[in-house]
A and B are shown apart, each in its own frame.
Chain A
Amino acid sequence: MSPRTRLWLVAVGGAGVAALLVAACLGLPAFGGDHHPYGDRAVEASLAHRTANTIASVNFDQRAFDTLGELTILFAAVLGCVALLRQTRDEHRARPEPAEVAPPVRRYALLVLPVALLTGLYVIAHGQLSPGGGFQGGVAAATALHLLYLGADYRALERVRPVGLYEVGDGVAVCAYLVTGIAALLGGAAFLANTLLPHGTFNTLSSGGTVPLLNAAVGMEVACAVVVLLARFLDQAVEIEEESGT
């Protein structure tokens, strides 16, 4: 197909989709409307289980099975990356040259690294109270670890980051999520039902029954997944070279 024909095809198809989307937008309830029956019920259900952050309650209590699906996608994506970016036989590892980093950048990275890690853990731990949770905190903590690459060099990061351990951690976290679900099943309730633990006092760290547990499992899973992903990409971009190459 010539680029010209393709552009015409895109224009015609795009115009059709645009017309349909605009028609659909005009048919939607007006922006900012007051009619949210499902949302109102979700808020009530969350308060009944004494979870202060309704979004965490929806994610890890009311729709916990849906989150398991999302976790599976995450796990599969990481597995795919690991399989695609493994070192093949005609490639070898070249020691990267140590980078020269300006002293202020190095000091900043070493100073902020623990602060950022702590913030990530804080965001995970307070997931059921204030905005945050396993998904956000996991990414923040894992990104923070890579300040070591930015502040020093790749070999410094490799020393404190045994990738194998994180790969195991990734699997363990998914298992922990499943085990929590099955425990509810053994307790005589539905899979992933929030009946295992007492709901606790509203707006404290231990409130919400199994929500903090599932939240922590997701935090671990996401953090390990991001570390493993970035490790594979860093390996490819920085270390691995083909045999025939330079």
Chain B
Amino acid sequence: MNGWILAATLTLAAGLTASLWGVATGPLRRRVVAQNLATAVACPGLLLLAQGYDRPSYVDLALVLALLGPVGTLVFARLLAGELAEDPPRARGVTWAAAGLGAVVVLALCAVTGPGRATAKLLVTGALLIGGNLVASRALTGGAGGTGRA
């Protein structure tokens, strides 16, 4: 029995089911927030899996997701700006919950890993994840604003 994999299973099952439900139903403003949530939940899940399988090299996946996931959300924020401006999303609660989850997971993993290059990588991943999701969520809730052209 491996506690890390159990935690990853619970995180992924709950978080991704919620974001799948959100992305499948409801108005557009809920769907884009759910898409952002999928990134924010999958990234800590991948970090927990890397620890659970005892393979530090799996952290690369979380790093790439933390970088490109918010880029994907920014794509939606930019190209759907017209529709989103009519009915702007509200995502403060979800965003901060996801950011909190990311922070807790990264700190727990850092505590286990101990100082070194691996910890630095974890911290970078965590910073990119949390920063990226906050910015992406900001862009969705009207930050992209303006004319929504080009």
Contact = CB atoms under 8 A, between A and B. Distances in A.
Contacts of B150: 96-99, 153-155, 238
Contact of B149 (A96, A105, A155): A96
B64 A108 contact: no
B39 to A, nearest CB: 14
A102 B146 CA distance: 9
B128 interface: yes
Interface string B88-124: 0000000000000000000000000000000000000
A119 B63 contact: yes
B15 interface: no
Contacts of B71: 112, 116, 143-144, 146-147, 150
B135 A104 contact: yes
A108 B129 CA distance: 12
A115 B67 contact: yes
Interface in B59-74: 60-61, 63-64, 67-68, 70-71, 74
A100 interface: yes
Interface in A48-101: 96-101
Contacts of A138: none
A139 to B, nearest CB: 9
Given A96-B149, A119-B67, A130-B57, A108 B131 contact: yes
B41 interface: no
Report, as a range, how many residues of chain A touch the other chain: 20 to 34
Nearest to B81: A99
Given A116-B67, A119-B63, A131-B57, A99 B148 contact: yes
A154 B79 CA distance: 12
A interface majority secondary structure: helix
B31 to A, nearest CB: 19
B44 interface: no
A140 interface: yes
B138 interface: yes
B22 interface: no
Contacts of A140: 64, 67-68
A102 B81 CA distance: 13
B30 interface: no
A132 interface: yes
B75 interface: yes
Contacts of B78: 99, 149-150
Nearest to B63: A119
A195 interface: no
A105 B68 contact: no
A15 to B, nearest CB: 26
Contact of B132 (A100, A112, A154): A112
B147 interface: yes
A32 B103 CA distance: 34
Interface of B: 57-58, 60-61, 63-64, 67-68, 70-71, 74-75, 78, 128, 131-132, 135, 138-139, 143-150
14 contacts: A100-B147, A102-B138, A105-B135, A108-B135, A112-B132, A115-B67, A123-B60, A131-B58, A131-B61, A143-B68, A146-B71, A150-B75, A150-B78, A153-B150
Given A105-B135, A144-B67, A144-B71, 19 more contacts: A97-B147, A97-B149, A99-B146, A101-B143, A102-B138, A104-B138, A104-B143, A108-B132, A112-B71, A112-B128, A112-B132, A115-B128, A119-B64, A119-B67, A140-B64, A140-B68, A146-B71, A153-B150, A155-B150
Interface of A: 96-102, 104-105, 108-109, 112, 115-116, 119, 123, 130-132, 136, 140, 143-144, 146-147, 149-151, 153-155, 238
